[in-house]
């Protein structure tokens, strides 16, 4: 086999980012379903959730090992 045949596929980071996206969608759906919140409270909560998801994705992007990727995902 030649060196050219080595084509690694990124797995840890895309999977971690997908987990963050899935968690954000679940949180957004839960916020929308909470009828005790006003429209303004819902908007603020969704904004906060998205900011935390974005921060988690940035930490995932900055990770250099699978363990750090996993930690960033879990922290998010």
Q: Residues, the chain, total?
A: 76
The pTM of this model reads 0.84
Please give the average per-residue pLDDT across 26-38, as a whole number: 98
Digit-coded pLDDT (tens) for 1-24: 689 888 888 999 999 999 999 999
Question: Is pLDDT above 80 for 63?
Answer: yes
Beta carbons of 56 and 20 less than 8 angstroms apart: yes
Beta carbons of 22 and 42 less than 8 angstroms apart: no
């Amino acid at each position: 086999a030649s060196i050219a045949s080595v084509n690694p596929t990124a797995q840890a980071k895309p999977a971690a980012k997908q987990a963050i996206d899935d968690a954000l969608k679940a949180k957004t759906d839960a916020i929308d379903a909470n009828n005790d919140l006003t429209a303004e409270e819902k908007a603020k909560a969704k904004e906060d959730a998205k900011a935390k998801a974005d921060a988690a994705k940035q930490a995932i992007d900055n990770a250099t090992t699978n363990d750090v990727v996993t930690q960033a995902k879990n922290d998010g």
